[in-house]
Structure 1
């Protein structure tokens, strides 16, 4: 089994995530994806929170602009369309099942929790339930791993290639990734 490509979060990173969430971050074991400016976008979270609560969402989308974009996309009623894509395309369904299995394998490295055994996130492997979770997985795993998460990111108004981080007391930063 390979270890996901992230290290333990720093105190500063946990402070950023807590600000993004508007509450204290819980059970964070790593920053799984970052904005082009370096701020956390997706955290990896233990499958059992410190208070004992089972938590199936290993890859948790924290970036406020990304979460808002996924909420907006869900409000446009795209879910039935994505569910139909999953039902009608065997290749996408197979890739979605593989994404589910990869998600479970990544999470298992941080503990097995019987209450959530076999449960990943976002409705995988047979439904499209939460674009936030699917986009978080797609960002953490990289393009081509979670086909529904990839589609959600492509269709959203947010891009991981353009910073939309807001710093307290400062104007909205607008930084694009260099194309070098």
Structure 2
């Protein structure tokens, strides 16, 4: 049974996340977003894991179908394209910096960790390093906060088609 640092997290959700990840989830304090199938899609994690490790990734995508779809966008070179746009579009760069600040505020609400102070995740605020983090942030906090996360999310196919993401898929 996964550890449960927050009594607000349903043990059944932690078990679902364990099936999704293939390992025990660590430091989960909230199911921050769900797939349309109802299963957890994004967890919110402590900034310092129970073993003492600093963990800057506050919003962590867990659904394997979601993460696979995001990986396909990364493989197509979307991160480089987005990073290039940050250098030429001052409004986009300002909105992305605001997303970075939002991420830091939300993480700080869970506790201060000096080793990762000022460092958000996903490459924010100057580049795009991980679409998984940006999409997870957008899914957790809703549209209008992370412009590049919103953009990547809008490009994803219906990853939830085919049933619950915690159940084995039938081979076709």
TM-score by length of 1: 0.85
SS in 1 for 2:17: helix
With over 3 angstroms needed to count, the CA separation of the structure-2 counterparts of 1:167 and 1:114, relative to structure 1, is closer
Structure 1 gaps of 5+ residues are 1-6, 173-180
Question: C-alpha offsets along residues 118-177 of structure 1, whole Å, 9 cap, x if unaligned?
Answer: 0111000111000000100011111111011111112223457x67523536759xxxxx
| 2:77 corresponds to | 77
CA–CA separation in structure 1 for the residues paired with 2:83 and 2:163: 29
| 2:123 corresponds to | 123
Q: How does 1:130-141 map to 2 (within 5 A)?
A: 130-141=130-141
| 1:92 corresponds to | 92
Question: 4+ residue runs of structure 1 moved beyond 3 angstroms?
Answer: 166-172
| 1:166 corresponds to | 165
The aligned length equals 165
Q: Is the 8 A contact 1:35 1:163 kept in 2?
A: no
User: Within the alignment, does 1:144 sit opposite 2:140 as a pair?
Assistant: no
* Structure 1, 120-129 or 150-159: larger mean CA deviation: 150-159
User: CA RMSD for the aligned pairs?
Assistant: 1.9
With over 3 angstroms needed to count, the CA separation of the structure-2 counterparts of 1:20 and 1:92, relative to structure 1, is same
Give, in angstroms, the shift of residue 36 of structure 1.
1.7
User: Within the alignment, does 1:68 sit opposite 2:57 as a pair?
Assistant: no
